[in-house]
Amino acid sequence: MIKHILTTYLLFLLTGEYLFTQLGVLMQNVALSRTADQSSSHPDGPARNAVDGNRDPNFAKGSCSLTHQESNPWWRVDLQNVYTVTAVMITNRNEFENRLDGAEIWIGNSLEDNGAKKSRCAIISHIPKGRTFYFPCSSTEGRYVTVFLPGTKKILTLCDVQVFPLDYADGNHVPNLALRGKAFQSSTLSNHDASRAIDGRRDSNYGDGFCTHTLEETNPWWRLDLRETHAVTSVKVTNRGDCCAQRLDGAEIRIGNSAENNGNDNPKCASISHIGEGKTVTFYCEGGSVMGRFVNVIIPGPNNYLTLCEVEVYAADRLTNQSRLGPRGVLQCGHNRA
């Protein structure tokens, strides 16, 4: 019966990037691989680079858009359908991080003014280099999402743009909550602090500087404060890719509202048996969901290191259909490739 329900209610995209459920949980970037345009194009920075699903902020790697220097440059994606957009996520370039300062995100149904000046979602005050920031849009309807940079002698570059709709699969889209949280860990090796696991990047090469690392110790832990309580259904973890994949073996994901013992005594969401080098695995919480503000990853035992290259947290606070399937829902303990 459970197998039938899972088959009926769960569908994973071939990219492995997003999870759909008919239970009202949806994680889908509707900008992915859609048609994009911009006011002008550097030969190595076409508009489509910002919707290729690659957040790599290194322009030389070929995954960022880039205009020429001009007045009021813009970038636009055609979602090909009208959505009620609830959030936009943007990844800034590693170099020239201040170029995006003052950019505006506009949403609308018309191409007049190149899609700008319809309904403004947000103003980008600043995104640090290489970081991904989340901009809520207060449920703005539109087919076109435009990033507009007002002023003269401006250059617009975007390394990734993601658009999340509200009006899809029962209207219950939930983004990666970790991007809005604050992270801590039991100790820090060099400058590989806890925040590197919630920077929006799955770069698993430790040498690139986007992974956390504790000292060798007993029961090393990493903790995320979501700032408020959520019904967490799943957690994605990206392991280090250049070595030492086995270090995460036996780690536990714990979620709850208690900060006692640094949150490590909270209920267990799932256990990590193994994650391959550089791989991202999704862990579903036992019992369907776990209520909590704090998300911990802890490795029990002495002489352990804890390294995390990315942690993503998804919740179903408005899970409207769960009562029809019983108090435990259908999302059972387990894991899948992200």
pLDDT in tens, 90-113: 999 999 999 999 999 999 887 776
Structure tokens at 178: 């970790």
Whole-number pLDDT of residue 317: 54
CATH topology of domain 35-165: Jelly Rolls (2.60.120)
CATH topology of domain 177-337: Jelly Rolls (2.60.120)
Whole-number pLDDT of residue 126: 94
How far is C-alpha 223 from the geometric centre of its chain's CA atoms?
17
| For the chain, domain boundaries | 35-165, 177-337
The span from the first CA to the last CA of the chain, in angstroms, equals: 25
β-bridge mates for residue 140, sequence order: 85
Q: What pTM was computed for the model?
A: 0.50
**Residue ranges of the chain with per-residue pLDDT less than 50:** 1-27, 167-173, 318-338
Whole-number pLDDT of residue 1: 35
Structure tokens at 35: 């048609």
- Phi/psi of residue 190, each to 5°? 55, -130
- Ranges of H-type helices in the chain: 2-9
**Identical fold at 35-165 and 177-337?**
yes
Whole-number pLDDT of residue 335: 40
